[in-house]
Amino acid sequence: MGRVIRFRGGRHREVQELLPWFLAGSLDAGDQERVSAHLSVCAECQEEVRFQKRLGPQIAELPLDVRQGAAAAALLIRLAEPGRRRRVRLRVA
C-alpha cells in the first residue's frame, strides 16, 4: 500500500527532500547540521527518518529487472556523488 507524504512549504520541505542524503551520510557539513537541528524539533521528520530506515533494507532485497539494472546502477552512482542535491525524475514505463 502507498504512503502519502504531506510536505509543508519552505525550510521544512527542503529538509524533507534532504533526508535520503542525510541517512546516506552524503550531505556537506552545513546541510548535515541543518537537517540534524530540524530533526531535533520535528516529530514528523523524525517519523519519516524511521520509515526510510525501515524501507531501505526492504528495497535492497527487491529483485531488479535486467533491463532496469543498468539504469538503476547509474542512478545510484549519480545519487552517491558528494554534495548532490538535485531532483531526479524517474520515468516508469
In a domain, 15, yes or no: yes
In a domain, 64, yes or no: yes
Which one is predicted more confidently, 80 or 28?
Answer: 28
Per-residue confidence at 14, pLDDT binned at 50, 70, 90? Answer: confident
In a domain, 62, yes or no: yes
Q: Is the pLDDT of residue 6 over 80?
A: no
In a domain, 5, yes or no: no
C-alpha cell at 85: 542535491
Per the structure, the count of domains in the chain is 1
pLDDT, tens digit (0-9, with 9 covering 90-100), for 24-63: 898 999 999 999 999 999 999 999 899 888 887 777 777 7
Q: Is the pLDDT of residue 90 over 70?
A: no
- Could you give the angle at the alpha carbon of 55 between the alpha carbons of 72 and 53, nearest 5°? 110
The proportion of the chain whose per-residue pLDDT surpasses 70, expressed as a percent, equals 68
Torsion sign (Cα): 51, 62, 25, 20: negative
Which residue segment(s) compose the domain that 48 sits in?
10-79
- Which pTM was predicted? 0.56
In a domain, 4, yes or no: no
What is the rounded average pLDDT of the residues 1-26? 77
What is the rounded average pLDDT of the residues 58-81? 69
